[in-house]
Amino acid sequence: DRRKRVTIVGGGNWGSAIACVVGKTVKRQPEIFYPYVNMWCRDSRKPGDSSESIAEVINRTHENAKYLPGRRIPENVIATSNLLDACEEAHILILVVPHQGIEQICKELNGKLLPDAQAVSLTKGISSDGKKLKLISQDIEDALGVKCSVLMGANLAGEVADEKFCEATIGCKSIEEQGNILKQLFDTPNFRIRVTTDYEAVELCGALKNIVACAAGFVDGLGWAYNMKSAMIRLGLLETKESYFESCGVADLITTCFGGRNRKVAEAFIKSDKPLAQIERELLNGQSAQGPPTADDVFEMMELFGISEKFPIFTAVHKVFHGKMGQDGLYDAMRTHPAYD
Ligand code: 13P
């Protein structure tokens, strides 16, 4: 049996939406893929809680009522709360958990995967050891000993699940070994995939645009003008440097600055006195926006290398979230941006 088995690691908003995609693509290509997809969902119940786990709810109703309500997850997607059961026979692991969860998952899976397994990370974030930044895909490769590609793009989860047209970019090391099979796995008439070997740029775009989306959310929350929001997005793109003309670059930036969770929590944060964690609880039903921790990691590195002044938007987002900058500082970050020097 040469069919590839696919497992989704993560049952959040994006994990559930991607389950809608790959549940269908594996079924459509039975000669290439095993027609069932495992999906690991964290069991977030507190001890003593006798309600169903998310995995049980998905298997019974084919819907993730908590994180992707109203969308049908195909019946050939089988959810489980047992990580090892979900992963040990997988040839392709789709990792789609918040950055905070990756380390623990890799620890549990270390040494337990098939020798020819490969991973693809959908997590938009960046990792830091206090001395340098590291790609999450690199962390995964180091921790699991398997090749890890990335998939990033302008992909608001609800729209993807609704099969509204969108595109995404896969970044991989080898088109032959990873790119082709991953394209077969993800590409549909409404979810168009492009593959590039520029995997570092793909992943960086995905991570850094979340910081810019927070800046855009601040602009919205402060009731500033459209011209200012556009300027903020352009300056943020400039700081992202890889002004990358793929979905993972410009398009993801724009979609997140208008319709993403990062924008939403940043808008609410700047309009209230509530701590970020409370806003995430209230607006995201327990999910976490990835922009604020990414801004922290990036800021730490910029300080280490003495280059924060060159990145006023990234710096401002970090400072605003930590109460070290208010709207005047944010305004100045745009007005006095080195782009105008
Ligand atoms: P958030 O909803 O986490 O802001 O991101 C959306 C996104 O990444 C769209 O591609």
* pLDDT at residue 36 tops 80: yes
156, 212, 233, 248: which to mutate for ligand 1, most atoms within 8 A of CB? 156
Give residues with Cβ within 8 angstroms of 52, minimum separation 6. 60
* pLDDT at residue 341 tops 90: no
* Range name among 49-58, 251-260, 272-281 with the lowest pLDDT average: 251-260
* Integer CA distances (angstroms), 291 to 38, 74, 211, 337, in order: 29, 30, 5, 21
Please say whether the dihedral angle defined by the alpha carbons of residues 332, 278, 272 and 290, taken in this order, is positive or negative: positive
- The pLDDT assigned to 339 comes to 85
Neighbours of 281 (CB within 10 A): 14
* Per-residue pLDDT tens over the stretch 308-326: 999 999 999 999 999 999 9
> Over pLDDT 70: what percentage of the chain?
99
- The pLDDT assigned to 312 comes to 95
**Protein residue closest via CA to atom 5 of ligand 1:** 260
- Amino acid identity for residue 174 in this structure: S
* Per-residue pLDDT tens over the stretch 98-122: 999 999 999 999 999 999 999 999 9
End-to-end CA distance of the chain: 62
Please count the helices (runs of H) and the strands (runs of E) in the chain. Answer: 15, 10
d(CA 64, CA 318) in angstroms, rounded, equals 32
* pLDDT at residue 151 tops 80: yes
- The pLDDT assigned to 244 comes to 67
* Per-residue pLDDT tens over the stretch 268-301: 999 999 999 999 999 999 899 999 999 999 999 8
Q: Which residues share a beta bridge with 40?
A: 9, 80
User: Average pLDDT, whole number, for the chain?
Assistant: 94
Write a three-state SS string for 40-60: ECCCCCCCCCCCCCHHHHHHH
Dihedral pair phi/psi, residue 194, rounded to 5°: -115, 145
**This prediction's pTM:** 0.90
Ligand 1 site residues (CB inside 6 A) read 124, 154-156, 210, 213, 252, 255-256, 260-262, 289-290
Residues 7-34 have a mean pLDDT of: 98
* Closest to 296 in 3D by CA, of 127, 104, 138, 123: 127
